[in-house]
Amino acid sequence: MMAHSTSHSFAWYSAGVVFRQEEQNRTWICKPRYNYAGRGIYVISVNSDLNTIFKFKLGNSNRLQLHPRLPGYLMQEYISRPLLIKGRKFDIRVHWLVAWTKPLLVFYNHNASVVRLSLNLYREFDFDRATHLTNLSVQENHYRYAFSQEATGMTMSQLNHYFNRCFRPFHPKMCQDWVMTVMQVSQYFR
């Protein structure tokens, strides 16, 4: 586990994590294993928050070593241009029942599914957890939640109406893309 500082491709290396020069200004998300409700999730920038992730120690031969401060965390590059609803991040909680895999037979409960929205407008370099995490437990701690609780969710019918009005005119094959996505995933059930 050593730090490298080269002028070309690699800038940081530790425990299998490699940051190339062009990746240092990107946003990353760190998630703990075995947790729920958004607990312990960090949204960071490598340049500004490297001390959050690693402890720096001088090792053998005066080489800088990086040791993870957050053992058991998954660190992945954050989506830089996510699809937004009214300028806010969202996720979709969908309940499916896979009844059969050959042939694929899936039941989908439209009424039990829900769309969760952030109260904050999305800004890429805003590291407020309530901007990026749509979990109810994160949103209900937001100072505006008591006044704007209904703004943190929508039904699947509302989402469908929103997509048809805002996206479908520009992406007429969106429905086919979604079907193809499900078909691609279905190959893993076989």
pLDDT above 50 for 175: yes
Task: Beginning with the edge strand found earlier in the chain, give each strand of the sheet holding 90-93 in spatial order.
Answer: 90-93, 114-117, 153-154
Looking at mean pLDDT, say which of 57-66, 100-109, 178-187 comes out highest. 100-109
Burial class (CB in 10 A: 0-12, 13-18, 19+), 39: exposed
Higher-confidence position of 42 and 161: 161
Its pTM stands at 0.65
pLDDT of residue 121: 93
pLDDT of residue 157: 87
In the numeric block, the tokens 């490598």 are attached to 46
Handedness of CA 171, 174, 175, 177 (dihedral sign): positive
The Cα 33–Cα 74 span in angstroms is: 7
Region at 37 (left for phi over 0; alpha for psi -120 to 50; beta for the rest): left
pLDDT above 50 for 11: no
The Cα 135–Cα 123 span in angstroms is: 18
Give pairs for 118-123: CB < 8 Å, separation 24+: 118/88, 118/89, 118/90, 118/152, 119/88, 119/144, 119/145, 119/148, 119/151, 119/152, 120/88, 121/87, 121/88, 122/82, 122/84, 122/87, 122/88, 122/89
Cβ(135)–Cβ(116) below 8 Å = yes
55-104 tens-digit pLDDT: 655 556 555 555 666 567 777 778 878 889 999 999 888 888 888 878 87
In sequence order, the 6+-apart residues with CB closer than 8 A to the CB of 177 are 171
117-157 tens-digit pLDDT: 998 999 877 888 888 888 888 888 787 777 777 778 898 88
